[in-house]
Amino acid sequence: MPVNVLFAAREEKWEDYEQPLRHALAKAGLEADLRSQFPPDEVDYIVYAPNSWLQDFTPYTRAKAVLNLWAGVENVVGNASLRIPLARMVDEGLSQGMVEWVTGHVLRLHLGIDSHINGQDGHWRPTAPPLAKNRPVTILGLGTLGTACGQALAALGFPVTGWSRSKKSVDGMTCLYGPEGLQQALSGAEIVVLLLPHTPHTENVLNAETLAMLPKGAMVLNPGRGALVDDAALLAALDRGHIAQATLDTFRTEPLPPENPYWAHPKVTVTPHIASATRCDTAAEVIAENIRRGEAGLDFLHLVDRSAGY
**pLDDT at position 133, please?**
98
For range 193-213, the mean pLDDT: 97
Non-local (6+) Cβ contacts of 262 within 8 A are 231, 235, 248, 251, 256, 268, 270
For range 249-273, the mean pLDDT: 97
Higher pLDDT, 179 or 125: 179
Tell me which residue of 253, 244, 185, 246 sits closest to 225, measured CA to CA: 253
**pLDDT at position 87, please?**
98
Q: Is the pLDDT of residue 277 over 90?
A: no
Tell me which residue of 291, 283, 272, 285 sits closest to 93, measured CA to CA: 283
Is 62 a known active-site residue?
Answer: no
Determine which of 117-121, 271-275, 290-294 has the lowest per-residue pLDDT on average: 117-121
**pLDDT at position 127, please?**
87
Reduced to 3 states, what is the DSSP secondary structure of residue 189? coil
Non-local (6+) Cβ contacts of 100 within 8 A are none
Burial class of residue 14 (count of CB atoms within 10 Å of its CB; 0-12, 13-18, 19+): middle
Confidence of residue 295 (pLDDT cuts 50, 70, 90): very high
* Mean confidence (pLDDT) of the chain: 96
Q: Report the percentage of the chain scoring pLDDT > 90.
A: 91
Confidence of residue 170 (pLDDT cuts 50, 70, 90): very high
**pLDDT at position 16, please?**
96
The string of pLDDT tens digits covering residues 205-249 is: 999 999 999 999 999 999 999 999 999 999 999 999 999 999 999
Compute the chain's Rg from CA coordinates. Answer: 21
Q: Is the pLDDT of residue 33 over 90?
A: yes
Confidence of residue 262 (pLDDT cuts 50, 70, 90): very high
Fold match between 3-91+278-296 and 92-270? Answer: yes
Higher pLDDT, 1 or 262: 262
**pTM assigned to the model:** 0.88
**pLDDT at position 119, please?**
79
Q: Is the pLDDT of residue 11 over 90?
A: yes
Determine which of 60-64, 123-127, 142-146, 170-174 has the lowest per-residue pLDDT on average: 123-127
The answer to whether 106 and 193 have CB atoms below 8 angstroms apart is yes
Break the chain into its structural domains and give their ranges: 3-91+278-296, 92-270
Compute the distance between CA of residue 25 and CA of residue 139 in angstroms, rounded to an integer: 36
Q: Is the pLDDT of residue 172 over 90?
A: yes
CATH number of 3-91+278-296: 3.40.50.720
**pLDDT at position 307, please?**
85
Q: Is the pLDDT of residue 122 over 90?
A: no
**pLDDT at position 278, please?**
87
Chosen CATH of 92-270 out of 3.40.640.10, 3.50.50.60, 3.40.50.720, 1.20.1250.20: 3.40.50.720
Q: Report the percentage of the chain scoring pLDDT > 70.
A: 100
Give the largest CA-CA distance in the chain.
Answer: 73
Is 273 a known active-site residue?
Answer: yes
Which DSSP symbol is given to 300?
Answer: P
**pLDDT at position 59, please?**
98
* Active-site choice (88, 110, 165, 225): 225
Q: Is the pLDDT of residue 121 over 90?
A: no
* Active-site choice (23, 108, 242, 273): 273
